[in-house]
Structure 1
Amino acid sequence: MKYFKSIPFFILTVFIISCEIAYAQKENTLIKLESNENAPIISKHIYGHFAEHLGRCIYEGFYVGENSTIPNSEGVRTDIINALKELQIPNLRWPGGCFADTYHWMDGIGAKEDRPTIVNTWWGGVTEDNSFGTHNFLNLCEELGAEPYLSGNVGSGGVQELADWVQYTNYKGTSPMSDLRRENGREEPWTVKYWGVGNEAWGCGGNMRPEYYVDIYRKYATFMSGADVDGGLYKIASGASNDDYNWTEVLMKNIPKNLLQGVALHHYSVIDWNAKGSDVDFNEETYFNSMKESWLMEELITKHTAIMDKYDAKKEVDLIVDEWGGWYDVAEGTNPGFLYQQNTMRDAMIAGMNLNIFNNHADRVKMANLAQTVNVLQAVILTEDEKMILTPTYHVMNMYKVHQDATLIPLSFDSPMYKFKEASLPALTVSASKDSNEKLHISFTNIDSKNGNTVSIDLNGLNVKNLTGSILSSDSLQDHNTFENPNKIIPRNFEDFKFKKGLLELTIPPFSVLVLEGVK
């Protein structure tokens, strides 16, 4: 004690803080890989996207028109097409969202000069000319190599209208709708497999009670013929918002399995719907609360899955998280109805965390759709006239695409905690898989805003000989890519790990996303 009293207070303080940091960084989290011969495949559709008629997602985003000076393919920007091909997006959901239950698909086919206009009453009250319609969307999906996921109108549309849309897109033979498709320039059907039967029926899709929606669903689904689609149509019920477990219970109990392939779930990482906070100007308390809301996804999937297991022990009905992501106040100076927001390292944390959660629940979660693709909410792409930038979320999705259709490797560990004041959250999410070429991939997300976290994994059972890595990180949580500096945040090589005699040890830096690849 006399020794410490002889040290100046400032030096002593620095010494103590340094020791605490060193201790925090040396704490080792042991991650155990579990052997499981029945481990599920991580469906590539977990890495799906969402494009609603909202703000500048479709018009001025995807679609600039055939006469635009911006390079395009049938009016869709080629730079966006190329960026999404790089992501290997497996599916794209359209036209909504809330917009879906006011959209009448026949208004968007035929000669463009003859198409009626529509007022987008949900998003900004703008008038759209229906120049982007079914042919544009399905042709885009073909070019991307992505499965289309059409959200059907059961709010303001009739049963026959939805049945006709199915026939228009899918029927090979002679019929009124297939003949109309041919008249509009498309000989062969697109064979659309994935169909949503309404959207958010508990809210903008009709403010229905679950018991009422069940009957609506059963009626519409009955008249949707999938005869010309291999395996039939994949019909997705409008599922719960957040922790509305009764909604899932009523659907699973009362919809026959022959009519139901998937049940949706929507959850956004929103702190307060009345005061969502700035997209870029936020403090650590706001960040921590965003992470808390994002972590809620684990609990929601676990509890909704438990309900589904009661009625579907064989897991024949899938959980479809077809809207997820961060949602903040719109970027300063933009239309509040357009939901345009910047994309920071906070969003990268939300993306990495949720994708790890989805991967680890791959036995039940078979599809997810990030909201949304271009210029809306947690977008992977932002545009401004002819300019285009890729967001931190884009880079996370690109890093994680290695998990698509790979076999999950279950793992277990006790996460270190990210602490803020009196509260704490698990700092780490991790998922692992092995692909068809026997390559191992492990993805880590550390949400701790200050501390790196050291982990060790015994890889001897996987015969891994060489490891490489990539990391997404930055100096500040608020950092983001701009049109002036589009590459401020991009993945870079990561080599700061020890791998000897099959034992891997590394420290994951604060608020970073890391993916390792191992080969024999």
Structure 2
Amino acid sequence: MMRALFFTLLAFVLVTSYSQNQIKLYPEQSQTQISKHIYGHFAEHLGRCIYDGMYAGDSYDIPKTDGVRNDVIDALKKLQIPNLRWPGGCFADTYHWKDAIGPKDQRKPIENTSWGGREDNSFGTHEFLNLCELLDAEPYLAVNMNTGSVQEAVEWEQYVNNANGSSYLTDLREANGREKPWNVKYWGIGNESWDCGGDMTADYYSNLYKRYAVAMTNYGNTDGLFRIAVGPGQPDYEWTETIMKQVPARRIEGLSIHHYSVFNWSNKGSSYAFSEEEYFKTMKRAWFMEEFITKNSVVMDKYDEEKRVKLIVDEWGGWYNTMPEGNGALYQQNTIRDAMIAGMTLNIFNNHADRVHMANLAQTVNVLQAVILTNEEKMILTPTYHVMEMYKVHQDAQLVPLEIESASYTMNGESIPSVSSSASLDTEGKLHISLTNIDHLNEQEITVDLGSIQLNKVTGRILTSARVQDRNTFDQPEEVTPETFRGAKITKGSLKVTLPKNSVVILELSK
């Protein structure tokens, strides 16, 4: 099948508010399931993501379960998060898991050399894996490959997974309150090894990775281990080629990439007081995800035509200057701009579901493009949270390939597509179409050719606001929330949609 049927995104220089946008669905060519793991999250020991974010410990007179805020647990359950990546990030490559097990008053306090501050290690392996059980989410552990060792990684994997007989590590786990193993499937071997994870070359990393991959075993986990190698965080496709060429297929299940929508690394700008030019540049960087996935996939296809090795986008999102008033490193607000990034990016992931198996939004609470912000006892849900909640209908649904012709969003002679879209069929035969219009000036008239799909009822939800800078605050926690969408109708086998400016829409078509 031609790749274009999955993600053709053709921009035409059409700038009037009623430019024609065309989408054609190809349901008869549907053969790919959208992995629910595309809708994963990331929680690093960074700023107030873990401590004073997810984990309140003995602080604040609010309901908690083993120190984790119940309001955070409930919000993440509503998202149906499929997996959670931990403990980093850069932090993972200075983290030693044995420092954070056993009685909390006997744990080893550490300095967070990656992001600053002292940690008492009251949130460790047991707390994290028990939280994942509460959330019904797969844990995704990142192994310390820089300051750690193969033995440390193997012992961690034995500690959490080994159920066979008695050993020092299984006895230790039981003494610490856990008899049965957690059966952790997803293991990231290193993190950003080309930078904070060791400043390695691709050749050096490949050889070191193989040592870890050989030594780690599944210990009765019936699905086996899913070992994820470090891929590039920039357009370094030679790194991808080196990994795919040098690591035997039996030693690797996934390759990770990172991409942030940063318009200027030296001055990332405000997370909520930004100009039109800054908005456009951020959207352009978000659209680069399409090219980044495509070009990495082309390299991977050379060595893996069957797409057995999956692409894992385990860090993505918007990145702006830290807000000092947030009282934590990389704390930023979350606006309609971030909803645009989320809607567009998730559409890209869905359309590449033949290769993309997992993705992890950075990060869950109080850091970067968070879905939740906390301030002592208070908690708010961000626009990004609402997009993730709206899009959860795509989890494990059958991808419907599409072609799209989009009007252009243009500034200073540069153009990017205004509209992105993805579609899927669920097990009940309902069709879901997600649409994002990043143009903050013009609504978009869209015609969707449904092909052989014969459904006559359409309902929808929309997330939008008057300005792309609009956001939820602790004083106004519901300024931006989803509403019913009535701008779509079915006529003679096609769907007509009027998509408001800067909006994310999810449509459901049924009989």
TM-score (norm 2): 0.95
In the superposition, relative to structure 1, how do residues 256 and 183 fare at CA in structure 2: closer, same or farther (>3 Å)?
Answer: same
1:261-276 to 2 correspondence within 5 Å?
Answer: 261-276=253-268
Q: Which of 87, 91, 96 is residue 88 of structure 2 equivalent to?
A: 96
C-alpha contact 2:331 2:368 (8 A) present in aligned 1: yes
1:267-346 to 2 correspondence within 5 Å?
Answer: 267-334=259-326, 338-346=329-337
1:446 aligns with 2:429: no
Quick one: distance in 1 between partners of 2:476 and 2:19?
A: 37
Cross-structure match for 2:239:
247
1:210 aligns with 2:202: yes
C-alpha contact 1:68 1:75 (8 A) present in aligned 2: no
Cross-structure match for 1:382:
373
Quick one: distance in 2 between partners of 1:186 and 1:346?
A: 43
C-alpha contact 1:148 1:193 (8 A) present in aligned 2: yes
1:508 aligns with 2:499: yes
Q: Which of 99, 109, 134 is residue 117 of structure 1 equivalent to?
A: 109
Cross-structure match for 1:43:
35
Aligned length: 497
Letter in 1 for 2:338: D
C-alpha contact 2:163 2:219 (8 A) present in aligned 1: no
Letter in 1 for 2:388: M
In the superposition, relative to structure 1, how do residues 171 and 66 fare at CA in structure 2: closer, same or farther (>3 Å)?
Answer: farther
TM-aligned CA deviation for residue 422 of structure 1: 1.2
Cross-structure match for 2:387:
396
C-alpha contact 1:466 1:518 (8 A) present in aligned 2: yes
Quick one: distance in 2 between partners of 1:183 and 1:67?
A: 27
TM-aligned CA deviation for residue 36 of structure 1: 4.2
Quick one: distance in 1 between partners of 2:70 and 2:130?
A: 13
In the superposition, relative to structure 1, how do residues 515 and 38 fare at CA in structure 2: closer, same or farther (>3 Å)?
Answer: closer
Cross-structure match for 1:156:
147
TM-aligned CA deviation for residue 105 of structure 1: 0.3
Quick one: distance in 1 between partners of 2:307 and 2:64?
A: 42
1:497 aligns with 2:488: yes
Cross-structure match for 2:217:
225
TM-aligned CA deviation for residue 509 of structure 1: 0.8
Cross-structure match for 2:476:
485
Structure 2 residue ranges without an equivalent (≥5) = 1-13
Cross-structure match for 1:29:
21
Quick one: distance in 1 between partners of 2:450 and 2:110?
A: 57
Quick one: distance in 2 between partners of 1:71 and 1:128?
A: 23
Cross-structure match for 1:475:
466
TM-aligned CA deviation for residue 122 of structure 1: 0.9
The secondary structure found in structure 2 opposite 1:414 is strand
Quick one: distance in 2 between partners of 1:415 and 1:28?
A: 8
TM-aligned CA deviation for residue 74 of structure 1: 0.5
TM-aligned CA deviation for residue 90 of structure 1: 0.2
Cross-structure match for 1:433:
424
Deviations 1:314-369, CA, capped at 9 Å, x for gaps: 1010000000000000114445x710000011100000000000000000000000
Q: Choose between structure 1 and 2 for higher RCO, CA contacts under 8 A separated by at least 6 residues.
A: 2
C-alpha contact 1:415 1:428 (8 A) present in aligned 2: yes
Letter in 2 for 1:232: G
Q: Which of 431, 451, 455 is residue 446 of structure 2 equivalent to?
A: 455
Cross-structure match for 1:77:
69
Letter in 2 for 1:99: F
Quick one: distance in 1 between partners of 2:273 and 2:21?
A: 33
Cross-structure match for 2:79:
87
TM-aligned CA deviation for residue 260 of structure 1: 0.2
1:60 aligns with 2:52: yes
Cross-structure match for 1:18:
none
Letter in 2 for 1:176: Y
Letter in 2 for 1:306: V
- Following superposition, which runs of at least 4 residues in structure 1 exceed 6 angstroms of deviation? none
The secondary structure found in structure 2 opposite 1:30 is strand
Quick one: distance in 2 between partners of 1:426 and 1:31?
A: 13
C-alpha contact 2:24 2:451 (8 A) present in aligned 1: no
TM-aligned CA deviation for residue 388 of structure 1: 0.2
TM-score (norm 1): 0.94
Quick one: distance in 2 between partners of 1:348 and 1:194?
A: 28
Deviations 1:222-257, CA, capped at 9 Å, x for gaps: 111113111210000011112111110100000011
Cross-structure match for 1:519:
510
Structure 1 residue ranges without an equivalent (≥5) = 1-21
Deviations 1:353-399, CA, capped at 9 Å, x for gaps: 00000000000000000000000000000000000000000000000
Letter in 2 for 1:115: R
Letter in 2 for 1:356: N
1:464 aligns with 2:455: yes
Q: Which of 172, 175, 189 is residue 181 of structure 2 equivalent to?
A: 189
Cross-structure match for 1:5:
none
Cross-structure match for 1:370:
361
Cross-structure match for 2:3:
none
